[in-house]
A and B are shown apart, each in its own frame.
Chain A
Amino acid sequence: MTSVRMSTARPISLKETDFDCREQIGFSAMTRILSTVSAILPAMLITSAVARMQEEEAKTYPSKEALEAKVIEVKGKVEYAAPDADPLDVDAWKPVKEEMMMAEEVQIRTGLRSRCVLMFGEAPDQTVISIRRASLASIREFRRSKDEQRVRIGLGYGIVRGGSSEGTLRSDVVVDSTVATLAKRGTEGFQLEVEPVSGMFKVSLARSGLVEAIERSSGEHKFVRPREYATPRNIALMWVNQDIFDRTVRFFALESLTQADLTYLTANRTGFGLLSPDGHHLAAFAGNHGFVPTGNSCDTGEVLSSEPTVVIEPDPVHRPEGNFGFTATYRLLVPANRAAHLSSRLLDRSRRSAAGTSPIGRAVRSRRQ
């Protein structure tokens, strides 16, 4: 019986007298109001505090403050107009002169043998944009917040190139056109070229940094590194023409090599090698015909301590094919007179590992099992 009451608590209370029922409803409503108020009040207090902080912050750093770009160089014939100006309206277009300030939404066009250079911001957070010959561009946005300087350039057609330096503010520069978008990632010498009407475009990077080229119709994107460029064609084909297929990297297991193989590979080196993560031991060396892992990496525990290795360059060498799970590649020097010694040591170890008496052999065997 008790269990029945317990399980039907709500229906029973509703079957009680009206007074009791109302009292219970009133109590539950009161509880609900109190709990709601107790939940809302701290939230309101926090919101007001945050708002007050934001207000104070906004006084110090106006949020997204609209700024004007300065014209620092004009060559040839350059004109500007309001955003909705007709391209053939003579009166709407006025000549651009040096030291002028350009606000947001202003259109700028250049003739042949002409260019216009705009400077956004002040040192050290500067972005310089050069509108090249026969181009139509506009300043879509130039705003600054407490930690970011945002520049948006619209390119109708022609060429826009530029670069920026970052000081205390993060520089967010995007050159946008109807067909492609160039997003800067800390860069100098980027360029977007758009052919009118046909929609052909080219995004290039001349000096340093990284830019992202985004094709607007398909949403495909490609990162562009120095001295590279991206066009709709190579963006579309980038997955088909994988660069990693351009070269073949061969690895040889020590166990599979004869004395002659090892002598040949150790004598014919490229000068590159892979250092172990601690940077003290040779993990593999790159022969002209493949990599030979020396097996002294941390997982095996074996070390060729007497190996005469000299690191020529302290910084890792970029290898386009990648490191394949090893550590970074370094330019190494192994003296030629030590090549025979090195190969015989490696061969001894491979024999021991094949016999299962070395740490490598044990490791290989345990992996197989």
Chain B
Amino acid sequence: MRCGNRFMNEMKAVVQLSGMCVFICLLLAGCSQRRQYQPETDPLSLDDMQFVHFLVGLPTVTFSETCRAITLTADGADEFQTHEERYEELVRRDVVRRAWGLGPDDVVDRGTLAFMSCRVCQLPASVSSTLLGSWGLGDRRYALKQAAYHEIITYGPTYEAVTGGELVNVLAHMDEHLAREGRYDFGKDVDSPADFIEGN
């Protein structure tokens, strides 16, 4: 009788352990999801202007597409030929981190995009972000809060995949922020006939 109970307890432990393993595997798989959808047009064949408007139609964006879009926003033009070159430059600027382990075809989530936008826009870091995020713990989660506070990205789950439309919207907000901060000259805003006359 005692032997039977022991066997049952062991079986329960095995089932629980295997369940946890499956759950962890699912989580890991979810963290680095490759995009299934393949667009008809090769983004590498498009110039910068076309590339931005091409992004609008994508249901999800890959890491390579995001890197190119972020480079385009930060520098005003994309001078790099390959994803590897771009990636190395972004790592050097601490816009992306190697620790994330993202491949060029992996889908980008909201937290990752928020982190990249925070670094490009040089948003002031919070205490938690400085203490914990600097060595990687919750870096993208804190970045999402920062970016949402500065109205660069819409707040949502950190792990949610970003659509092409959302990416373009974030790029526009980043671009506006950079212009407001004087990182490049965008000229005076014209939103009335009087502005135009004054401008002359």
Contacts and interface: CB of A to CB of B under 8 A. Distances in A.
Interface of A: 72-73, 75, 77, 79, 87-88, 90, 109, 111-113, 115, 117, 119, 123, 126-128, 130, 132-136, 157-159, 161-165, 188-191, 195-198, 200, 206-207
Given A157-B165, A196-B164, A123 B76 contact: no
A113 B184 contact: yes
Contact of A197 (B47, B56, B187): B56
Given A133-B172, A197-B164, 18 more contacts: A75-B187, A77-B49, A87-B50, A88-B41, A88-B54, A112-B52, A117-B190, A119-B196, A128-B190, A128-B192, A136-B56, A157-B169, A163-B194, A164-B193, A190-B191, A196-B164, A197-B165, A200-B169
Contacts of A87: 50, 53-54, 56-57
Nearest to A165: B193
Interface residues of B, number: 37
14 contacts: A72-B196, A88-B53, A90-B50, A112-B48, A112-B175, A113-B179, A115-B186, A117-B190, A157-B168, A159-B172, A165-B193, A195-B154, A196-B56, A197-B56
Contacts of B76: 112-113
B48 A198 contact: no
A75 B199 CA distance: 14
B104 to A, nearest CB: 21
A109 to B, nearest CB: 6
A200 B154 contact: yes
Interface of B: 41, 46-50, 52-54, 56-57, 72-73, 76, 154, 163-166, 168-169, 171-172, 175-176, 179, 184, 186-187, 189-196
Contacts of A132: 172, 176
B49 to A, nearest CB: 4
Which of B48, B76, B196 has its CB near the most chain A CB atoms (within 10 A)?
Answer: B196
Nearest to B73: A112
A196 B168 contact: yes
Contacts of A157: 56, 165, 168-169
Contacts of A206: 191
List 10 A-B pairs, minimum CB-CB distance, nearest first: A196-B165, A197-B165, A163-B192, A188-B192, A126-B193, A111-B49, A195-B169, A134-B172, A196-B56, A189-B191
